Amino acid sequence: MERKELRNGYTTGTCAAAAAKAAAVFVLTGNVPENVHISLPSGETCCFHPEAGAGEYEGYFRVQKDAGDDPDVTDGVWVYGAAVPVTREQFEELKVKGSGYWMEDTPFLYLTGERGIGIVTKPGLSCPVGHCAVNPVPRGMILGAVDQACRQAAFEGFLEIRIAIPEGVSLAEKTFNPKLGIEGGISVLGTTGIVKPMSEDALKETIRLEIHMQAAAGKRILLMAPGNYGESFLNSDLGAPVGKAVLCSNFVQTAVKFAVNEGIQQLLFAGHIGKLIKVAAGVGNTHSRFGDGRMEEMALLADQALTQRKYGSWCVELDQESIQALCSQILRANTTDEALGLLMDTGAAGQVLHLAAEKAKRHMQSWSGGKLTVEAAVFSTAHQIVGMTDQLAAYLALWKSQEGYI
């Protein structure tokens, strides 16, 4: 079957630039523009067909975001822009007291974020605390687009450019913004002006940014989990509030390197055996396309637990033939939880999880080049069993102290 080519879309910043430029054309010429052209950072040009706003947004122009085939939470939202003439005195006051932005390249324009645009409350982002969450590239695109309209109309006065995304207030709860310290709305993002669907780079950048935010806040010990299962375990079993852990998805090795680059010194990592068994095998990206090997690693750990009998009191005694028969059954299992079920009768299931946690720890420390010390927890919700590295409880106490919980 021929593979379908995924369709690109436009970033929120590109849409905001189009809406703002249309508003400026109308204010400066009295003409309602049928279309506006926006220059992208790549040098390409795109065309939009803005609509005039109505009701509360009369005087604004709006563009509906099309994110292409990317599952973007903002796909389909209306992005509004207005251009408001102001006096020199008003402009200077905005520069001093406003929560928006002024740029030397466009010295007579001031950009303000209105309803649905979040306000930054924590340091470490691309926007200063107390200012609206419009990132540098979109700022330049919006103000640059309006500046084009000003030049074409030979306008020499001052304008306040207002951007609003009314749906952003509710959409913000579906994003990382509250966790990152952006309140009241979404961010206006984009580095190329184009949305490329299913971008792994974008997900990695989100992980990097979250680690950077924690480091910027002075954190030196970090909680991390692949996803919601790990986060829930940290909450229910270890008492860490939901929302405190960095969720690294499949990118475990990448996240470890991000942590090292940000000066993090200690890592407490928790994950379901289905993910962590791959890390225990030395796999840095746990996505299935990078291989499986889960049952092979489970069988190896079972053999080690029952043959080497480290912490042997945890296990019933089996002869070598019985151990090999059990490992053969594990290799035929469909899931790690099924394999653990086979181990429950031997008494070795907990020890297998313990060994998995120890091996995952060693690999993560190796990926860090020895610059990060790691403690790990591996669990199975189906069997209500946990394996932990030896110093995990001590790390958890350190983390709680760092966060002010003890």
- Domain with residue 146: its CATH number is 3.30.2110.10
The residue among 195, 215, 236 that closes a domain is 195
Specify if 4 maps to a domain: no
Q: Same structural domain for residues 169 and 277?
A: no
Residue 3 in domain: no
Residues 127 and 242 both lie in one domain: no
- For residues 366 and 275, state if they share a domain: yes
Q: Specify if 2 maps to a domain.
A: no
For residue 161, pLDDT beyond 70: yes
**pLDDT top residue among 311 and 325:** 325
Percent of the chain whose predicted confidence (pLDDT) is above 90: 73
Between the two ends of the chain, the Cα-to-Cα distance in Å is 59
Rg (CA), the chain: 27
Cα separation of 359 and 378, whole Å?
A: 11
Q: What is the DSSP letter of 306?
A: I
Q: Is the pLDDT of residue 314 over 60?
A: no
Higher per-residue confidence, 30 vs 243: 30
- Those residues with Cβ within 8 angstroms of residue 119's Cβ, 6 or more apart along the chain or in another chain: 99, 113, 130, 131, 132, 133, 182, 183, 184, 185
What are the backbone dihedrals phi and psi of residue 171, each rounded to the nearest 5 degrees, phi first?
-70, -25
Q: Give the pLDDT score at 1.
A: 33
75-100 average pLDDT score: 97
Is 228 in the same domain as 371?
Answer: yes
Say yes or no: 335 and 232 in one domain: yes
* Residue 6 reports pLDDT greater than 80: no
Identify the pLDDT of residue 306. 85
Burial class (CB in 10 A: 0-12, 13-18, 19+), 367: buried
Lowest mean pLDDT among 174-178, 208-212, 401-405: 174-178
Beta bridge partners of 224: 246, 269
Quote the CA–CA distance of 273 and 363 in Å, as a whole number: 15
Q: Which of 136, 164, 195 is the last residue of a domain?
A: 195
* Tokens at 347, concatenated: 């008494």
Cβ distance 381 to 229 under 8 Å? yes
Question: Residue-wise over 155-188: b if at least 16 C-beta within 10 A, else e?
Answer: beebbbbbbbbbbbeebbeebebeebbbebbbbb
Domain boundary among 195, 228, 262: 195
- Do the domain assignments include residue 190? yes
Average pLDDT over residues 93-98: 96
Q: How far apart are CA 233 and CA 5, in angstroms?
A: 39
pLDDT of residue 373: 97
> Has this prediction a pTM greater than 0.85?
no
State whether 236 and 187 are in the same domain. no
Note whether 177 and 214 are same-domain residues.
no
Does a structural domain hold residue 233? yes
Sign of the alpha-carbon torsion through 217, 220, 226, 228: negative
pLDDT in tens, 286-310: 987 777 789 999 999 999 888 875 5
The pLDDT of 15-36, averaged and rounded, is 97
pLDDT band at 198 (very low <50, low <70, confident <90, very high): low
| Pair type for strands 119-120 and 373-380 | unpaired
Domain that holds residue 301: 200-403
Quick one: how far is CA 217 from the chain centroid?
17
Confidence of residue 197 (pLDDT cuts 50, 70, 90): low
Helix (H, G, I), strand (E, B) or coil at 158: strand
The residue whose two tokens read 């030196």 is: 220
In a domain, 296, yes or no: yes
Q: How many domains does the chain have?
A: 2
**324 and 387 in a common domain:** yes
Helix (H) or strand (E) holding 247: strand 246-247
Question: Of 284, 280, 315, which Cα lies nearest the Cα of 297?
Answer: 280
- Residue 345 — very low, low, confident or very high, per pLDDT cuts 50/70/90? confident
In a domain? residue 381: yes
Question: Is 306 within the bounds of a domain?
Answer: yes
278 and 322 belong to one structural domain: yes
Both 165 and 222 in a single domain? no
Structure confidence by residue, pLDDT tens digits, 201-259: 778 888 999 999 999 999 999 999 998 889 999 999 999 998 899 999 899 999 999 99
Rounded to whole angstroms, how far apart are CA atoms 238 and 70? Answer: 36
Same domain, 314 and 369: yes
Say if residue 126 is in the same domain as residue 215: no
- pLDDT value, residue 72: 78
